[in-house]
Structure 1
């Protein structure tokens, strides 16, 4: 008798679950103190030569392509949630960590700079970040690009100079690094643009 009474409730619950829609991870809310700290959803783990990408429409992680040059991503690469860049897409971020981050995981970070970049003539800046102090205190004293070892900065530069070279990879132009303050200005504008578009 108890089983018969439970079955309709179970069926109703399953129907409700099947019609529920998962939240798009790009809409994951930002921190209360953004842009001092902010959330990044990771797509590509540091050390990978597979370019994973989260499909904005469906939220599914897909393999977009493989890097054709003999280089690997020097940092975790992802998208800043609840942000909209000039093209309407979430801003890109490179996150330096002690261990690669799984694709799809969200991490709270702080900006230490921005890599100024043009991709086929369009602005394609990359916010450079490290984990927020309460996520990994190892990076608590890293607040600017100048706080990083020079070789770490050169690895970032070198990767983006060559990663699209083959075949028909497009035209990449690097324009140096902006400081943490410039990165936060870009973040503030992107968070405002996202709110305005809702």
Structure 2
């Protein structure tokens, strides 16, 4: 029996070493087939959770028109943070890509119409865009999601999707960096309607936050982060007013919906992204590389 236990321990050690060596396929976006992407849509190896699987590379100076933050795979090839970073991590945990760190105002976003969809600062009439005041939470996107502009959401006044990945508001204490990939769990969602377009805001928390274990649904957020849901809604309602635009509206009774509803939104928009990647729906000017 001692020999059997030794052999079992050796096998477990070998398996653990093997798992540590697993990495995502070392391929460029052009050779990473749609079939492979669809396979990653529903299951991701635990090795894909490692932050070291993806690196970022800055081009140009921050707060200039030329500034870009590209994502690289382990071999140094450019990949898309929108298309190639996995969404699902299992057990209700998802990858979240930080575009705008908390307490900053530069309006950074994934360039959905550029090859490899790098993060850049948004522009209007050739000028860099800034929020009128700092955003108080880490803000970014869920990869492998898409709000289909041809899909009318019957539960939110029939509003059409805004043609972007789904936004995330991460309420943890730590200030992240542009391009960070955080493991988060959704807690709630707001159905923002921006000039008639549906722009979901998933409220989530990073698993490395000290209070992450205390919050698992919308009611927990109010208990452990009192006033946060109202503050998020009001911030996104009012941020365009200083530019002379009307306040944004919200569906679903003007309140944050539950975690289950947030998961439903993620599932729907993940499926829409899958159709986009299969060319089942028109991509327009969106980059699928």
Query: Same fold by TM-score, threshold 0.5 exceeded?
Result: yes
User: Offset at 1:74?
Assistant: 2.0
Equivalent of residue 146 in structure 1, options 197, 200, 219: 219
Contact 2:166 2:269 in 1 (8 A): yes
**Alignment match, 2:136:** 74
Q: Distance in 2 between matches of 1:197 and 1:161?
A: 29
Q: Distance in 1 between matches of 2:99 and 2:87?
A: 17
Q: Distance in 2 between matches of 1:84 and 1:67?
A: 23
- 1:116 and 2:191 aligned: yes
User: Offset at 1:170?
Assistant: 5.2
Q: Distance in 1 between matches of 2:87 and 2:109?
A: 20
**Alignment match, 1:63:** 121
Q: Distance in 1 between matches of 2:77 and 2:241?
A: 39
Residues 150 and 195 of structure 1: CA distance in aligned 2, closer, same or farther (over 3 Å)? same
Other structure's SS at 1:153 match? helix
User: Offset at 1:137?
Assistant: 4.8
Q: Distance in 1 between matches of 2:245 and 2:120?
A: 19
Contact 1:115 1:178 in 2 (8 A): yes
**Alignment match, 1:9:** none
Tell me the number of residue pairs that the alignment of Structure 1 and Structure 2 aligns: 174
Q: Distance in 2 between matches of 1:60 and 1:99?
A: 23
Other structure's SS at 2:79 match? coil
Kindly report which structure 2 residues correspond to 1:94-133, keeping only aligned pairs within 5 A, or say none.
94-132=169-207
TM-score by structure 2 length? 0.56
Contact 2:145 2:269 in 1 (8 A): yes
Other structure's SS at 1:107 match? strand
**Alignment match, 2:268:** 189
Other structure's SS at 1:166 match? helix
**Alignment match, 1:83:** 145
Q: How large is the RMSD of aligned CA atoms in angstroms? A: 1.9
User: Offset at 1:54?
Assistant: 2.1
**Alignment match, 2:22:** none
Gaps spanning 5+ residues in structure 2: where? 1-75, 123-128, 150-162, 278-289
Contact 1:44 1:52 in 2 (8 A): yes
Deviation per CA, 1:26-45: give whole Å up to 9, x if none. Answer: 111123427x1111111011
Q: Distance in 2 between matches of 1:179 and 1:163?
A: 24
TM-score by structure 1 length? 0.80
